[in-house]
Amino acid sequence: MLFRSLEQQGALEQERTRIARDFHDDLGSRLTHIKMLSESARRHANNPSETIADLSRISTAAREFTRSMEEIVWAVDPKNDSLDELATYLSGFAQDLLHSVKVRCRLDMPVQLPDWRLSAEIRHNIFMAFKEALNNALKHGQPTEVQIKMTCEASRFMVTVEDNGQGFAGPRNSGYGLSNMRSRLQKCGGEFFLKS
């Protein structure tokens, strides 16, 4: 019993460390960006067109900050520790993101999902890999449509992000996005597949 308690305490400490890192790295940099844009707007007080441009950038940065904060809160809230909640969150995130850039979003999700419990760490890693997949599709594929699909089998589920963009030829080695996706999914016992 003591071993189980120490194991749970270790998992809790790891989760707290991850949350602190997310707050520092993501939210800290976004707040710094908003602060710098605010200072720029103040410097441009006598130039209305520059001030309006700065205020527009501040508004966009504040929206992104709010979205990041919502992602962190969702990831740590234990009431979201289910496959159904994960599917709901991924669907909503994809629809909001794709709508904002005028790309059609097609969802293919099961009506009834198994009552599987997923830890905050697993949900977080799956969400971050999913978010990176969407960003890659938009950035590199330039699609007009993205399809999000979830399928469930006896003891596992699969999330597919497919777009009708331009695809790519040969291996993709630039950047850390693909290796981060693979690493995140492996941490939670999953696999990563990429096909052009």
Report the C-alpha gap between 32 and 168 in whole angstroms: 35
State the pTM of this model.
0.75
- Answer whether residue 114 shows pLDDT above 60: yes
Cβ atoms of 15 and 120 within 8 Å: the answer is: yes
In the beta sheet, which residues pair with residue 145?
104
The predicted model gives 28-50 an average pLDDT of: 82
DSSP line for 61-123: HHHHHHHHHHHHHHHH-GGG-BHHHHHHHHHHHHHHHHHHTT-EEEEE--SS----B--HHHH
Q: Would you tell me how many other CB atoms lie within 10 Å of the CB of residue 91?
A: 15
- Answer whether residue 15 shows pLDDT above 70: no
Tokens, residue 25: 């790295």
Predicted local distance difference test score (pLDDT) of residue 10: 66
